[in-house]
Chain A
Amino acid sequence: MFEHILSVMIFLPLLVGVALLILPVSKNGVRILGLAVAVVVLVCGLKVYADYSGGGGLEFVEKLNWIEGLGISYHVGVDGISLFVLMAAAVLFPMVFMLFTAKSKAYYCNLLIALGAMVGAIAAADLVVFYIFWEIMLLPIFFIIGLYGGENRIAATIKITIYTIAGSLCMLAALVYVAVAHHTQTGVWSFEIARMASLELQGGFAVAAFVGMMLAFGIKIPLFPLHTWLPEAYTEAPYSTTFILSAIMAKIGVYGVIRLVVPVFEVEMARYAIILAYCGVIGLMYCGIAAIAQKDFKRMLAFSSASHMGIIALGIFCMNVQALTGTLFQIVAHATSTGILFLFLGILEERTETRHIDDLGGVAYKAPVFATFFAIAMLASCGLPGTSGFIGEFLIILGAVKFNMVIAVLAGTSVVIGVCYMLWLFQRVFFEEANSKTANFKDLSAYETLVFLPVIILILVMGIYPQPFIAKIEPAAQKHILQMATQDNPQLAERLDESGLLKLTND
């Protein structure tokens, strides 16, 4: 069982999801079974987290030859980088089964399939396996938005699907290019991710492959000019799906950049990091300003989520240990804060039947527990000291200072925009006068409080005592950056010297 723990985490949800689609099980039965599977995945995830030794290498490896001629195998494993993304998925997923009721059982089945595919993409150690799970991830989202979304669901689902698939197919070409380059350089066919890091890619095709991969991940994150699908998709999707999109799937985009792009395309990354970092900062500012202007709170939060993804992306492009550690930390922090806010807003809409910010008011007086929880998640999302969001964003900006002062200053000041719209939202919704819509607002039930409580505690623990988390992240981040820097690559070494990236210790 334990040597196949990752496979269980991947295939149990996938198979149960498909089986429940086919079998005639009632909606509630599916929900309970789905929850059970999500809890099994969570338990497995906790087991992985506990047993992870922290050496920085791949652990819990499973390898099964598949297409031997091309060196493709079913190969999964977890290291310090994937561990946190995996944990974010495993920990947050049970909540979507607990909170909202769906229109039909297919909704839960799709969620399960999404869970399996996401775990698969996170754990994959082979390019083809990664790509397959990456694509499967999209299918349930396509059906969920199309079947259970809001009024403009069809336009939204087409938009997200075409965007994502266009990106993915670019990535496919890039993946194959990298693997073929590996074959030409070493004479061995392989699609193993770890092996690709040793490649020396040069020339126009390498840049094109880099761009292809960045397109795929940039769309998923979403990075600034590629974010246009996001407001529609996030707004039209049911809340629990928006939550998954924002809290987990976007993070897999970030993870993909760290995992595939940074080690393979070190030279291109070093050369274009500044452009990408500007994209991150512009996204942070632009989406933040757009969020201020929104009247619909779901749309506002969608922009807010995109805005915060900008700073997470920035953390990767700074390419030093602090920023990378911050990014990995922020992956969990953003999922538990901004992600959770979507669930809160879902409850808000369910009880008030409106998404207009101006229609609401005075919720805090009617529902103090709800307001408190919301406030904590919101403040974490803004990066208030004492919450998880602070640690992550602080580390990223610290890394950015080492990378480029202008960007660091821009990023640091733009965080204030987040505070603006969040506090303004809080003021308009939770304070002011209660009106007819909010007069009968019910507070969180005991059950709901119990569901949210662990996450709220996690936010505070990660904010007040982050050391155990950072201790798990840092070796992996350090190893990652070291691996990049020590590669026999004078051109890169030069660039690294210029921007001072060779400072590897966490002084």
Chain B
Amino acid sequence: MTDLLLLLPVLIITSGAILLMLLAAFENVRDEIACFGAMVIFLFGFCMQLFGLGQGDARIFSGVFNEMLVGNSFTAVAGLIITACGFFTCLSSHTYFKQNRFITSEYYALTAFAASGMMLLTMAQELITAFISLEIMSLAIYVLVGMHRRNIKATEAVLKYLMLGAFAGGFFAMGSALMYGGTGSTKFAEIAGFISANGFFASSILVVGAFFILVALLFKIAAFPFHAWVVDVYDGAAMPVTGFMATALKTAVFAVFANFLILDGGLQASWVEYLFYIAVFTMFGGNLIAIGQNSLKRMLAASGIVHSGYLLIALVAFTSRDFTANVIVFYLAAYAVATMGMFAALSYLSGEDEQRITFDDFRGLAKVRPFSAAAISIFLLSMAGIPPTVGFMGKFYIIVNAINAGQVLLAVLAIVSSVISMWYYLRLIITMYFHEARDDFAVAKSPLAQATTFFLVFCVFALSLLPVSV
């Protein structure tokens, strides 16, 4: 029964996705119906996930699935983030596609398919399952990125993403094969057992395999040195899709990363030294890219790289299984709330065909739309880690975790990086508040994206009060 409860959200989202796909096949079904259908599905999945929270640690239907999937509080919270992100993406898409008319009803089905892949990914305890769910997710995302077929930027984005993503997928598959060759198993737990029994460097095949898998995962989370694609891809994708990618996709991949590396895989000790440098370069590389951007979307993409760096700190600084897992998932939630809110706000503020997109376009927003400007400011402050927002608590936990694990230097570097990142977050606030408006900031009729934005503002504060257990 517990097993079923833990699996139910994935089942709901998957069958919902198929249902939406069939719905999309009927020409007379309007996009709006698909949109509301997707919302209902995501909401239902979210509630079921909430229900399954705290149901304990279980290998789901280990007889049937042969211990491929696991359900625990870590995967449940990651699932909550993903379903919530899916839900909010649908809401902001509704508004966005009032002003950008290139939607087909498959959009929502693809979103749900991607979400189902992500949820499976968080639960995966085995390399092949992880690979399959990674590809379910990625394929749907590729299509979503290239949804705007007539737009040259979207085409460029999807081409880049597809090419590099296919390589990453190939790396993952190759790495899995080598891991299997090295350890005789594809299960995280058994690989960990092998490593603790024989040592990591006992088998060179294992080392190469682990390296390949790390490359694939680092690519997906946009960590240095595999971060170059992210700016162009985010730039080309539609606003809600970018938001979905930045939040849900990152959550899913980080969950499997954490599972693979530390929670069940036991690989962390062998890679920690390299991950240290990767984390540092990811933070500072991301900052360097972000400082130079003029487009908000590109800035947010680059700041996403920086946040990946902070999350990598939690992977490097491993204290206790529970605390580190909680820190990671809390930070993911914190980042998701702010980023989702940001993209929801941009979904309705960017206007017809995403005409407002640079810093300058948002000049004086506070004079015309004070509430939207306030909401954006709150999201930015949360990303920058200024209290009393959830972003601050996330960063606080990361730093506590890092210092507690003895990684004081990493914590200090994270702080230096946050100081640098203040510049581009503040820059938008300054542009919105301290300059005169030139635009009337006309927005679409649909109020859903606005509602999402303001609900997420509430979440930014509410979630910051949520205590994390050690």
Contact = CB atoms under 8 A, between A and B. Distances in A.
A272 interface: no
A176 B423 contact: no
A179 interface: yes
Nearest to A191: B400
B387 A173 contact: no
Contacts of B434: 146-147, 153-154, 157
B433 A147 contact: yes
B14 interface: no
Task: Pick the most buried of B374, B386, B392, B423: most chain A CB atoms within 10 A of its CB.
Answer: B386
A173 B412 contact: yes
Interface string A157-189: 110011001100110110011011001000001
A470 interface: no
Nearest to A204: B408
A173 B409 CA distance: 10
A166 B371 CA distance: 28
A205 interface: yes
A79 B67 CA distance: 58
B467 A165 contact: no
B83 to A, nearest CB: 26
A292 B396 CA distance: 44
Contact of B426 (A135, A158, A177): A158
Q: Which range contains the number of B residues in contact with the other chain?
A: 20 to 34
B344 interface: no
A66 B467 contact: yes
Interface string A126-150: 0010011001100100010011000
B399 interface: yes
Contacts, number: 82
A68 interface: yes
A139 B374 CA distance: 12
Contacts of A166: 419, 422
B423 A162 contact: yes
Given A135-B387, A176-B396, A205-B408, A169 B403 contact: no
A27 to B, nearest CB: 15
A154 B430 CA distance: 8
Contacts of B433: 143, 146-147
Contacts of A157: 430, 434
A278 B430 CA distance: 37
Interface string B405-418: 00010011001001
Contacts of A132: 387-388, 392
A444 to B, nearest CB: 33
B468 interface: yes
A468 interface: no
Nearest to A65: B467
A463 B381 CA distance: 44
Given A173-B403, A176-B411, A69 B396 contact: no
B22 interface: no
Interface string A113-136: 000000000000000100110011
B404 interface: yes
A50 interface: no
Contacts of A177: 403, 408
B62 to A, nearest CB: 30
B470 interface: yes
A70 interface: yes
Contact of A67 (B371, B388, B404, B468): B468
Contacts of A70: 400, 468, 470
B469 interface: yes
Contacts of A146: 430, 433-434
Nearest to B419: A166
Specify the main secondary structure of chain B where it touches its partner.
Answer: helix
Contacts of B470: 69-70, 189
Contact of A183 (B371, B404, B423, B468): B404
A162 B420 CA distance: 9
A206 B465 CA distance: 30
Contacts of B323: 69
B295 to A, nearest CB: 21
A179 B419 contact: no
A176 B386 contact: no
A165 B386 contact: yes
B449 to A, nearest CB: 20
Contacts of A135: 386-387, 392
A283 B321 CA distance: 49
B400 A176 contact: yes
B404 A172 contact: no
Contacts of B399: 172-173, 176
B468 A172 contact: no
B422 A162 contact: yes
A139 B392 CA distance: 14
A69 B404 contact: no
B387 A131 contact: yes
A179 B400 contact: yes
Given A132-B387, A173-B412, A162 B419 contact: yes
A205 B403 CA distance: 11
Nearest to A145: B434
A66 B419 CA distance: 27
B468 A173 contact: no
Contacts of A68: 467, 469
Interface string B376-387: 000001000011
Given A132-B392, A165-B422, A170-B415, A180 B386 contact: no
Contacts of B419: 162, 165-166, 169
A500 to B, nearest CB: 36
Nearest to A179: B400
Interface string B119-155: 0000000000000000000000000000000000000
Nearest to A71: B470
B403 A176 contact: yes
Nearest to A178: B403
A132 B392 CA distance: 9
A173 B415 contact: yes
Nearest to A146: B434
A180 B468 contact: no
B25 to A, nearest CB: 46
A67 B387 contact: no
B415 A169 contact: yes
A455 B371 CA distance: 39
Given A146-B434, A162-B419, A170-B415, A136 B467 contact: no
B407 to A, nearest CB: 11
A2 B415 CA distance: 40
Contacts of B418: 169
Interface in A10-37: 21-22
A187 to B, nearest CB: 13
B388 to A, nearest CB: 5
A180 B400 contact: yes
Contacts of B412: 173, 208
Interface string A64-83: 00111110100000000000
Nearest to B402: A176
B76 to A, nearest CB: 19
A183 B392 CA distance: 22
A139 B323 CA distance: 31
A128 B464 CA distance: 13
A68 B434 CA distance: 41
B462 to A, nearest CB: 14
5 contacts: A69-B323, A135-B387, A172-B396, A177-B408, A179-B400
Interface of A: 21-22, 66-70, 72, 128, 131-132, 135-136, 139, 143, 146-147, 153-154, 157-158, 161-162, 165-166, 169-170, 172-173, 176-177, 179-180, 183, 189, 205, 208
Given A68-B469, A166-B422, A189-B470, 18 more contacts: A66-B465, A66-B467, A69-B323, A69-B467, A131-B387, A132-B387, A132-B388, A135-B386, A136-B387, A136-B388, A146-B434, A154-B434, A172-B415, A173-B399, A173-B411, A176-B399, A180-B400, A205-B408
Minimum-distance CB pairs A-B, first 8? A69-B470, A132-B387, A67-B467, A169-B415, A146-B434, A69-B469, A166-B419, A135-B387
